Amino acid sequence: MKALNAPTRVVDLILTCLGGPACQCVEARAVGPRYNRKVKTFYIETFGCQMNAHDSEKVVGTLVTEGYQQVETPEEAELVFYNTCSIRDKAEQKVFHRLQQFQRDGKGKKFAVLGCVAQQEGEKIFEKAPHVSMVCGSASYNQLPQMLVQLDAGNKRVTGLSLDTDQTFETPLTRRDNPHRAFLTIIEGCDKSCAYCVVPFTRGPERSRTSASVIAESRKLAEMGYSEIMLLGQNVNSYRDPSPAAWDFAKLLDEVGRVPGIRRVRFTTSHPRDFVQPIMEAIDSNPSLCNHVHLPVQSGSDRMLEAMRRLYTREEYLQRIAWMKACRREIAITTDVIVGFPGETDEDFQTTLALLDEVEYDSVFSFKYSRRPNTHALALDDQIPEEEKTRRLAVLQEHQRQIQIRRNASYVGRVEECLVEGFNKATGQWIGRTSQHKTLNFVRAAAPSAEDLLGRYVDVRVTRSGPNSLAGECVN
């Protein structure tokens, strides 16, 4: 059996301490009282967005603190966690497929469903999959230690399903997967009610962390060697510091970008309604804030935006784009689009294509509309046939591919700073990430393995481009 999270760095060595009675380290004090419990193994698989990915990092930290040990496969584990996503029907079905695989041969294991499907389906999951013994939504993760005790005691229906909370999920330990870029949640939940979206039902109302705790965690991350921070929330723009300091998102962003050692700050996701000009002013004046904004538009048609209850018009959206284009640095702009929302005509769809041309996005995440439980749009007539949604999606993706070919070609000849994130042995290329969040694969004149570049920042001259990435040569 291979345990995950083998210590790779000094900080991890400290974090792997399980708190023996004689140990005086900080982690030992955090986990000491649980030292004597029998070590159990767990496996976790995560679906969905970055918020979910980071929740899992915190859940893993909580489980390790409780004395559990992470393993690589569900077969090896005594306790199997699925942290689920419900944003589209296909995402929701994934967890039930996984659970079905273990319906018969999962004897001796316990199964727990976490995340958005857990919150949405609640106790119905026990009926659909009787071998599941824990169902817990993200608003209840603070109760995980008590829930694990119940599970240990043989309780077969352990639940954490209340959405009535003003708390955010904090842990003494977080097991981050990426050694250079750290996720950091600043706000949980969502107070919008977009007509197609399950998130307000699965993640509850908005609640922000204090600015002091965000800055303290950013400093700690810098001390641990992280150089990039990604601030997370379903709508980071509506961040409101609950402490008397009362910082808004623009202020918080700027201050995180001033933490010594933090070279890059990103954030996701923004809502156009709450994306105010001071956010762009902060980005324009603080070089640590990356040259990239992800601003989901969903549709280019005012009629559709209204039906989707997005709370902005095409013109208001384009105003935000104009702020980005007026910056001294070139800002990469990405978005999300839904095709085939109920009532979307071909004309509406053409208006969306025209918006893509007007903005010239660097990348677009596009989805076929999926009917979701509890949402306002569920009751709408005039559903678009599946084949038509598929056709529109293909047309949109090809349209955007051509835009990306043009956008990326404009980078050829430029020198971009990259954070080195990996090395591709097959091609002999390093994998870098630019401030614009573009993948830039590059070669280096010195023997590739002579010096480990991972986690370093290097300058790369772009020599070639494709629709989805850039290629180049390291110049320093």
Contact of residue 88 among ligand SAH, ligand SF4, ligand F3S, none (CB under 5-8 Å per partner type): ligand SAH
Return residues touching ligand F3S (CB under 6 A): 48-49, 51-52, 85-87, 115-116, 198-199, 202-203
Question: Closest CB to ligand SF4 among 34 and 192?
Answer: 192
Question: Closest CB to ligand SAH among 15 and 297?
Answer: 297
Q: How far apart are CA 133 and CA 118, in angstroms?
A: 12
Question: Closest CB to ligand SF4 among 253 and 305?
Answer: 305
Q: How far apart are CA 200 and CA 139, in angstroms?
A: 11
Does the footprint of ligand SF4 cover residue 461 (CB under 6 A)?
no
Residues within window 285-324 making contact with ligand SAH, judged by CB under 6 A = 296, 298
Contact of residue 151 among ligand SAH, ligand SF4, ligand F3S, none (CB under 5-8 Å per partner type): none
Contact of residue 200 among ligand SAH, ligand F3S, ligand SF4, none (CB under 5-8 Å per partner type): ligand SF4
Q: What is the dihedral of CA 137, 143, 146, 148, to 10 degrees?
A: 40
Q: How far apart are CA 98 and CA 192, in angstroms?
A: 31
Q: How far apart are CA 355 and CA 349, in angstroms?
A: 10
**266 bridge partner residues:** 230
Does the footprint of ligand SAH cover residue 168 (CB under 6 A)?
no
Contact of residue 48 among ligand SAH, ligand SF4, ligand F3S, none (CB under 5-8 Å per partner type): ligand F3S
3-state secondary structure of 83: strand
The string of DSSP codes covering 406-417 is: HHHHTTTT-EEE
What is the SS3 assignment for 224-256?
A: CCCCEEEEECCCHHHCECCCCCCCEHHHHHHHH
Does the footprint of ligand SF4 cover residue 289 (CB under 6 A)?
no
CB contact at 8 A, 244 and 197: no
CB of 83 to ligand F3S, least distance (A): 8
Question: Closest CB to ligand SF4 among 309 and 461?
Answer: 309
CB of 234 to ligand SAH, least distance (A): 4
Contact of residue 336 among ligand SAH, ligand F3S, ligand SF4, none (CB under 5-8 Å per partner type): ligand SAH
Q: How far apart are CA 66 and CA 35, in angstroms?
A: 8
Contact of residue 367 among ligand SF4, ligand SAH, ligand F3S, none (CB under 5-8 Å per partner type): ligand SAH
> How many helices, marked H, and strands, marked E, lie in the chain?
15, 19
The string of DSSP codes covering 271-302 is: -GGG--HHHHHHHHH-TTB-SEEE---B-S-H
CB of 453 to ligand SF4, least distance (A): 37
Among 372, 392, 433, 438, binds ligand SAH (CB under 6 A): 372
Binding segment for ligand SAH among 141-149, 320-328, 366-374, 442-450 (CB under 6 A)? 366-374
Phi/psi at 83 (5° precision): -95, 110
Among 65, 119, 370, 400, binds ligand SAH (CB under 6 A): 370
Q: What letters, b where the CB count within 10 A reaches 16 and e where it falls short, cover 7-36?
A: eeeebeeebebbbeeeeeeebbebbbeeee
Does the footprint of ligand SAH cover residue 183 (CB under 6 A)?
no
Among 56, 165, 218, 234, binds ligand SF4 (CB under 6 A): 234
The residues that touch ligand SF4, with contacts defined as CB under 6 A, are 190, 192, 194, 197, 199-200, 234-235, 271
